[in-house]
Structure 1
Amino acid sequence: MMGPRQEAQGALFYDFSLEDPVPRDHLLRSIDRFVDLSSMRSHIAAFYSHTGRPSIDPELLIRMLIVGYCFGIRSERRLCEEVHLNLAYKWFCRLDLTDPVPDHSSFSKNRHGRFRESELLRHLFETVVARCIEEGLVSGQRLAVDASLIEADANKQNSTPKEEWDVRSIDPADAPRAVREYLEVLDHEAFGAASEVDPKFTSHSDPASQWTAARKGPAFFSYSDNHLIDTDFGVIVDVEGTRSIRQAEVGSTRTMIDRVEDKFGIVPEWLIADTAYGSGPMLGWLVDRQIDPYIPVIDKAGRPDGTWTRTDFEWDAENDQYVCPEGHALKQLRRNYCDPNRGPTGKGVAKYRALKLTCQSCPSKARCCPNADFRSITREEHEDARQTARDLAKTDQYEIAMKLRKKVEMLFAHLKRILGLNRLRLRGPNGANDEFLLAATAQNLRKLAKLLPAPAALPKAP
């Protein structure tokens, strides 16, 4: 028998609690146990006025942003609609059924103001990292680093070629916020000072973004999201936004390692990375800090003509010389010369030369220097560190390290496919860092919720 037509009938009173309809195994229930915002008010209190109308609770805005980035809702306008409609979101944000949801404009007002001035989003990220350490998910022994390109909110149609770009013509007083931020980071090692080479195109709307074709496809404007992770459970311990060039990405590694040491006292035993981080200065910096670099070395010592390479010569550190396979010495200086070209280059590279007479009478000249009168070898300033990395590459631990490095790539895949961070919504270096910090915070919270789920609810007594 067909039942009666269902019609909604309003009631004068409702006995209803948001605690009941939210499932016990809902992701937000597990995440909520690890969201500690108790220190947030004291952190940001100095940036509020002591008089005037009360503001929107900053904890509410932060909780809404956590919901948005955990579930890939990056549009703040849509986020407000979803929080208004979804009971689980309301419960997580500590809203009642009748409580109003803040307007979407409140986010941009606070983000460009007190949130950014107080570095609140970094404080939130570091609070979550501290909780991961407390729960035993971070040992700090083996860290891995990598970078991923995130498309910027910029279009080639609104850009200028480098031949026509003149930064001196920009008036900061009339410039948009992203352009003013670009002017502020011209001397920053992660942006303007990372390289003397000007990009092929510069965006008018977001000039700090980098024009790049690194994906071997159509070029686009982008930023690099740099992650430093602990390889035990794949927890992100630091994050930094930079230009999408190798020099800036490598430089951010030093910044992040210094920051986690200052903040959490983490000094890793290993650093795992790909070949982009295998330059001499980077390896030298790691070895000086007694960090084992499990990194492929950038080595251009190979010779296309099949003659002996630098690796065929034995380094004699005690006598500051190379010894060729025939037993002859290649020295940097044999006596004091007034010719400056004979001494150190001052560019972090030293030249070692064999005697001309020795090479001319050597039976292996055809295999060593067939087209030159004598053999010379260049040695970089950080060659000892490079050799340390080469020696580590021959160990069994190196294979383990290369497998652990894939955890960084998995996090970037999760970032783009699950959280939807394929393209930035905010412009400028600060906007990029805000998005990267929120996304990394969401990934760590989801990691905590997955590894330490909420206990199952006990059955109700009859």
Structure 2
Amino acid sequence: MMGPRQVEQGALFYEFSLDTHIPADHLLRAIDRFVDLSGLRAHLQPFYSSTGRPSVDPELMIRMLLIGYCFGIRSERRLCDEVHLNLAYRWFCRLGLDGRVPDHSTFSKNRHGRFRDSDLLRCLFETVLARCIAEGLVGGEGFAVDASLIKADANRQKGVEGTNGLPPESVSRAAREYLAVLDDAAFGAATPVVPKLVSPADPAARWTGADGGLAYFAYAANYLIDLDHAVIVDVEPTTAIRQAEVTAAKRMIVRSRERFDLYPARLAGDSGYGSAAMLGWLAHEQGIEPHIPVFDKSERRDGTFSRSAFTYDPGADAYTCPAGKHLRQRQKVYRSPPPLVDADGMLRYRASKYDCEACALKPRCCPNASARKIPRSIHEGARQMARDICASEAGRTSRRERKKVEMLFAHLKRILRLDRLRLRGPDGARDEFHLAAAAQNLWKLAKLIPLGQPSLA
């Protein structure tokens, strides 16, 4: 038979526990074990006044932000609504049933103030990374580096000509941050090339068409990961250009060594990191094997001999051409000899003009020059090391393992929904990337150390 109508009845007393209503396999229950914010208040204490009205608990705000980045809630207004309604979110934030959710404007006020002044979000990322290291998820032997373009919060149809600079009325926070990083090698000083368009809303965002479709304003999210379990070891925002990405890779490698005493034996990357200077820095200055394809444009397509057709003799410090003649750095004695190395770090080996004029292979070697010249980088030893590694089985293994960082970028954009930034300026990009990387490492901890399994830390 039909049951009685359900009628709401008031009760004098309730016995309700949030913990019993959260599923055992819920992601937040798995993540909560690894969120240690015990040092948060001590870290922020110097940035609060000793008088005045008590503030919103900073731990509550950080837990709410972690929820937003773990579940792809991009709006802070919506995040406040979701935390207010969702029992699991309230449990994770330690709010209880009657706890008050802070207003969305609280996040903006703290983000532009004490959070950035104290570099709190960087501290949060490093705290999560330290837990990954303590749990044994970071081997420290092999690293991989890569960058991915993230659209900026800037309308592509409202850009101004890059040669005209910013309009005089551009006094926004993002414009001030842009002016502050003009001399930074990861932003303004990365290249002397003036961009085609500049966004008045976010001038530090770079106009780029690297994806092959419509050009847009973007930042680059740079990840340095450990290859054992794809844990993010470091993260750095840069302008969307290759030179800046190389600078970020160097900074992340040095910082991971200084902060966590990590000394990788090898670094995997794509050919964007295969410049001679970068390979030389890795091999000679850092002692890291470069498992990176060499960035090489020496092959010719006009039918003439490429540089690979010339054999280098290290003992004689000379190249031998296909006709058996020698190319040396100097073919004659100078009263005031010019420097051997140019500003680009290249050595120039030249053939004798008399040898080339009488050579039958001249039409296939240097038809438009009197003598053939061969450039050689001062880091050619590191370049040859990278070539040998890439041709070995270890190099092929590194190419497969390097795809782990690309999978992290796919997770970042598709699951965490960070395919477009919500905050503007270099500081806004840094905040979003730090929070997203911390959320991804928490996902990794929850996945690899299931509930019920003893923790090592």
Q: Distance in 2 between matches of 1:369 and 1:206?
A: 49
Q: Distance in 1 between matches of 2:279 and 2:106?
A: 45
CA contact (8 A) 1:145 1:408 kept: yes
CA contact (8 A) 2:331 2:350 kept: no
Q: Which residue in the other structure is 1:118 paired with? A: 118
Larger displacement relative to structure 2 (308-317 or 280-289): 308-317
> Which amino acid letter does the alignment assign opposite residue 75 of structure 1?
S
Q: Distance in 2 between matches of 1:96 and 1:64?
A: 14
Q: Distance in 2 between matches of 1:381 and 1:39?
A: 48
TM-score relative to the length of structure 2: 0.95
Give the match's secondary structure for 1:20: helix
Deviations 1:78-130 (A, max 9, x none): 11111111111100101110110111111111111111110100000001111
Q: Distance in 1 between matches of 2:201 and 2:369?
A: 54
Give the match's secondary structure for 1:192: coil
TM-score relative to the length of structure 1: 0.94
| Equivalent of 1:337 in 334, 337, 341 | 334
Q: Which residue in the other structure is 2:305 paired with? A: 308
Q: Kindly report the root-mean-square deviation, in angstroms, between the aligned alpha carbons of the 2 structures.
A: 1.8
Is 1:447 paired with 2:444? yes
Q: Which residue in the other structure is 1:223 paired with? A: 219
Cα gap change, 1:373/1:164 in structure 2, threshold over 3 Å: closer, same or farther?
closer
Q: Which residue in the other structure is 1:262 paired with? A: 258
Q: Distance in 1 between matches of 2:356 and 2:339?
A: 19
Deviations 1:287-312 (A, max 9, x none): 11111111111111112233322122
Q: Which residue in the other structure is 2:135 paired with? A: 135
Give the match's secondary structure for 1:12: coil
CA contact (8 A) 1:333 1:342 kept: no
Give the match's secondary structure for 2:149: strand
1:373-452 to 2 correspondence within 5 Å? 373-452=370-449
Deviations 1:241-295 (A, max 9, x none): 1101111111100011011000001111111111111111111111111111111
Give the match's secondary structure for 1:222: strand
The number of residue pairs the alignment matches comes to 453
CA contact (8 A) 2:166 2:198 kept: no
Cα gap change, 1:220/1:253 in structure 2, threshold over 3 Å: closer, same or farther?
same
How far has the Cα of 1:343 moved from its partner? 5.0
Q: Which residue in the other structure is 1:357 paired with? A: 354
Q: Distance in 2 between matches of 1:346 and 1:78?
A: 54
Give the match's secondary structure for 1:351: strand
Q: Structure 1 unaligned runs (5+)?
A: 457-462
Give the match's secondary structure for 2:63: helix
Give the match's secondary structure for 2:13: coil
> Which amino acid letter does the alignment assign opposite residue 125 of structure 1?
F
Deviations 1:224-253 (A, max 9, x none): 111111111111010011101111111100
1:360-371 to 2 correspondence within 5 Å? 360-371=357-368
> Which amino acid letter does the alignment assign opposite residue 107 of structure 1?
F
How far has the Cα of 1:335 moved from its partner? 4.1
Q: Distance in 1 between matches of 2:355 and 2:160?
A: 57
> Which amino acid letter does the alignment assign opposite residue 153 of structure 2?
D
How far has the Cα of 1:430 moved from its partner? 0.3
Q: Which residue in the other structure is 2:194 paired with? A: 198
Q: Which residue in the other structure is 2:46 paired with? A: 46
| Equivalent of 2:243 in 243, 247, 251 | 247
Q: Distance in 1 between matches of 2:408 and 2:344?
A: 38
> Which amino acid letter does the alignment assign opposite residue 375 of structure 1?
R
How far has the Cα of 1:341 moved from its partner? 6.2
Q: Distance in 1 between matches of 2:232 and 2:339?
A: 49
Q: Distance in 2 between matches of 1:418 and 1:21?
A: 25
How far has the Cα of 1:39 moved from its partner? 1.4
Give the match's secondary structure for 1:14: coil
Q: Structure 2 unaligned runs (5+)?
A: none
